[in-house]
Amino acid sequence: MRKIKDVCSMKEVILQNFWHYQEKYHKGNKAKRWTFICEADHPAFPIYAQGIVLLQQEGLVAFVGENKMFCLTDKGYDFCEFNKLSLSPEDRFYEEY
């Protein structure tokens, strides 16, 4: 993942990650959400945490208590769908194994 220094860029990358994997695993199914969290030992965690808080305040993401992760809200889903967000490979947080 490329080094991101400002919180506005991180917010965009977070939304791009959510939308990329939402479409990959639950394409067209607004009732299901892909969940994610950046672990505290990840190098990008400090700026990620700032970005996720701002996205929560904007109502675009929400904390899912039962799995202790975040997901897009309906508003976030609609925003990503409308803006056709895409994710560049160097901005991926989540790596598939």
Burial class (CB in 10 A: 0-12, 13-18, 19+), 69: middle
Please report the pLDDT score of residue 95 as a whole number. Answer: 55
What are the domain boundaries of the chain? 8-86
Q: Which residues have a Cβ under 8 Å from the Cβ of 70 and sit 6 or more positions away?
A: 18, 35, 36, 37, 52, 56, 61, 62, 63, 64
Instruction: Give the fold, CATH level 3, of 8-86.
Output: Arc Repressor Mutant, subunit A (1.10.10)
Helix spans in 27-73 (H): 45-57
User: 50-76, pLDDT tens digit by residue?
Assistant: 999 999 999 999 999 888 899 999 999
- Give the whole-angstrom CA distance, residue 72 versus residue 92: 16
Q: How is residue 75 annotated by DSSP?
A: H
Please give the model's pTM, rounded to 2 decimal places: 0.83
